[in-house]
Structure formats: structure tokens, C-alpha cells
Amino acid sequence: MELDAAIDQFLQHLRAVKQLSPHTLDAYRRDLTKLQQLAAAEGVVVIDELREMPLRGWLAQLHRGGLGAKSLQRWLSAVRSLGAFALREGWLKANPAAGIRAPKAEKKLPKLLDADAAGEFVESPGTTASSGDERLAVRDRAILELFYSSGLRLSELSALNWADLDLRAAEVRVTGKGNKSRQLPVGSQALQALQDWRRQAPAAEADAVFTTMKGKRLSNRAIQARVAHWARAGNAEQRVHPHMLRHSFASHLLESSGDLRAVQELLGHADISTTQIYTHLDFQHLAKVYDSAHPRAKGDKS
């Protein structure tokens, strides 16, 4: 089976059987066109002539050409899927891409606010609000305080109902990814802000906690806009968004406690490896402390 014909049949299979979206099909087509071009340059035109070592070389060639780790992973995944299809069809005796691994994408450390900046920011609706915005400021202070107090995701906060909050016990119940629920503590400052908002909140649709002044539940986008508004109002040095407050919550908690498993539970991460990125942030903090405090951390300046 010629390689171009095998690719065509594979794409037809993805379209008709797998019913992939046009966007995903285009991505497969682009990646497999690259494979065909690389193979043709070395005289490989039949699919059963594909071998592992040339594939590794082509992967390295794409890397040298400037293709990023995520793009390389996607290219290799397309080639591996083609190989698996060809194996089932009897065109190959083994999948030459099965044992190849693409380079891992570098994990980007999440941006966050330090503890002082976070404290100032969540209090900003009470200090930078104009005289006509008192109720909005009370509501937004509760939003910011709860994000930072309990590490909620944006979707978790926007979906909150008053029935999910136990203000007496200082707890909130949220439903996160995979429809999994978790119970979280609410800090004293966030608790006070929520109590202040409840006294002023309008009658809400479906018992929603965070609403417009007419009682309509705030959308994710509206909450993002309010967070951005307070960042501008307070002349924040960087763009602030809800996820930054969640990152700050996790990092500051880990910094103080060192308990990675507890932070995992509070964030609602299914896999602790997702939470482990915060250990890098914690090490950065420790390194700064070491550099500033240890008598032999720096070179001799005499």
C-alpha cells in the first residue's frame, strides 16, 4: 500500500467512523502531509517501508526546524495513529512509531501574586470604589475574597448557590471537574465579605450567590471582567485574573504548610502530579530566602 493512499484511507476512516470534527481532521491532514514529505525526501513511498529509526530522525528534523514540543507531540500522535490503523488493516506487521516518545513540553509556572499583593488586591473594592458603586464593591469584595480564601475555579464560583454556603460553619461546597464535589473552608475575611454581601444582595434567580443588581447570575465572563476592573482601578502592575488568585491560594498555602496532599484535596486535583507544579513555586520562594539569609549563599564581595 502506497503511503499517500494509506493516509487517504485513514483520513476517510477518521471522518466516517470516528466522526472527528473538520478542525481535527485538518490537523491530522497537515501532520500526515509532513510525514509524507519527509518520507518522500528519503525515497519512502510505501507504508510498509516506514521504520522506527527514520521516524526518530524526522522527529528530530522537525524539532531543529523550530516545531515546538506540543506540535511535535501532536505530529507523533498522528503518525502513531496511522501506524495503528495500518496494523489493523494488515498493511504493517508492527507500528514503527509505537516506541517513540516526543520531547515533553516545558511546564510553565503559573503567575501569581505575593501574599502582600494578594491581600491588597482582594481588599481593593473597599478602598478604590467610587461613591455610587457601594453595592457592587461589596459584591466584588466577596468574589475576590472567596477566590483567594478557598482556591475556587471560576466555573465553581459562578455556579455557587446560597445553599452551597454554610456561613455558620465557614464552609463552602463546590462541584468541580468530573462532577466531583468537595467541601472547603472559608477564611474569616471572606466569610465577613460574604455576610456583608448577603445583607445587600437582591433576590436572585435559582438562589445564585453572585448576581447583577437585578438578581441575574453573573456569567464567567462577567466575573473575569470585574476582576480585571479592580486590577485596573488599583493600578496593578500585572494583569490579574481569577486563575491567578487560585494559583496564589495554592502557592501560599503550600509555602506555609508544606502539605502537598492537602493542597491537592483543596484544589480538587484528581492527580497529585497536577499539584506538584506548586512545589517549583515553593522552591523559588525557599531559594530567595536562602540567597538573602544564608551567610555563604553569595560570593565573597571583599
pLDDT at 238 over 80: no
Mean pLDDT of 167-176: 90
Average pLDDT, the chain: 85
What's the pLDDT band for 277 if we cut at 50, 70, 90?
A: low
Mean pLDDT of 277-300: 57
Taken in order of first residue, the domains within the chain and their CATH numbers are: 3-89 (1.10.150), 115-291 (1.10.443.10)
pLDDT at 9 over 70: yes
pLDDT at 205 over 90: no
**Cell triple for residue 183?**
467541601
d(CA 274, CA 286): 21
Verify whether residue 269 is a known catalytic residue: yes
Verify whether residue 63 is a known catalytic residue: no
Verify whether residue 278 is a known catalytic residue: yes
pLDDT of residue 139: 96
**Cell triple for residue 178?**
468530573
pLDDT of residue 296: 56
From the list 177, 180, 239, 288, the catalytic residue is: 177
Mean pLDDT of 51-58: 94
What's the pLDDT band for 156 if we cut at 50, 70, 90?
A: very high
Verify whether residue 301 is a known catalytic residue: no
Mean pLDDT of 207-217: 95
Most confident of the following: 20-24, 68-72, 89-93: 89-93
From the list 34, 139, 246, 252, the catalytic residue is: 246
d(CA 186, CA 162): 14
pLDDT over 90, % of the chain: 52
Predicted structure pTM score: 0.57
Max Cα separation, the chain? 76
pLDDT at 51 over 70: yes
Verify whether residue 285 is a known catalytic residue: no
pLDDT at 236 over 90: no
pLDDT of residue 33: 96
Nearest to 217 by CA among 229, 228, 202: 202
For residue 183, the cross-strand partners are 173
Mean pLDDT of 258-267: 76
Please give the full DSSP string across 187-226, using - where no structure is assigned: -HHHHHHHHHHHHHPPP-GGGBSSB-TTSPBPPHHHHHHH
pLDDT of residue 302: 40
pLDDT of residue 112: 79
Nearest to 152 by CA among 172, 127, 180, 130: 172
CA 142 to chain centre: 24
From the list 269, 280, 294, 296, the catalytic residue is: 269
Range from 5-19, 64-78, 127-141, 178-192 carrying the lowest mean pLDDT: 127-141
From the list 80, 153, 226, 247, the catalytic residue is: 153
Mean pLDDT of 131-158: 89
pLDDT of residue 289: 54
pLDDT at 88 over 80: yes
Range from 59-73, 83-97, 244-258 carrying the lowest mean pLDDT: 244-258
pLDDT at 155 over 70: yes
Verify whether residue 229 is a known catalytic residue: no
pLDDT at 221 over 80: yes
